[in-house]
Amino acid sequence: MNRKQLSRSKKTRIFTWLSVAAIVLLASSGTSAQTQRKAGAAHPDTPDESPLFHEYRGVQLGMTADEVRKKLGIPKDKSEEQDFFIFNDTETAQVVYDKTQKVITISADFSNPTSAVITAREVFGAEIQPKPDGSVYKMVRYTKAGYWLSYNRTSGASPLITVTLQKIQ
């Protein structure tokens, strides 16, 4: 394996682990938020309107694995539970399936963002106030649509942006 292939292999592993970590973190925070919301009244982050962002590259929650692969092509890593796609050096995606091979999570990662990368405005219809360190995070539960949507941008000169759609179970 030459140096360039090794570098790409490392990047792929890093993106995979970051994506998995983000999904686990977001899923666990969604579970605790869901428990808190059931105990109280309607949460202000639960809008009644239809979500602005509901698909990624034509892939939507509920599609079959075959439909996803027709839209996105051959995944870099493929299994019955999830597919991992690498579109270029700065964009990857994970698609997670349930036991019936239907999409329950779509998570897209953008590294070294440029103007072509999806923005919080495109996801939620408005900018998100950055935290003091420059990072950005917002999650909204669309209970009528049956999923939650999150936007996360890390701080620093080369931030990682992750946009995740996940079915509410």
pLDDT along the chain (169 residues), means of 10: 47 47 41 38 50 88 97 96 95 96 96 74 90 95 92 91 94
Contacts of 109 (CB under 8 A, 6+ apart): 15, 18, 19, 22, 91, 92, 93, 160, 161, 162
Closest by CA to 29, choosing from 157, 129, 160, 137, is 137
Q: What is the pLDDT at residue 61?
A: 95
The CA distance from 24 to 71, in Å, is: 25
Angle at alpha carbon of residue 118, lines to 114 and 123, rounded to 5°: 155
Q: What is the pLDDT at residue 115?
A: 59
Q: What is the value of pTM for the model shown?
A: 0.72
3-state secondary structure of 48: coil
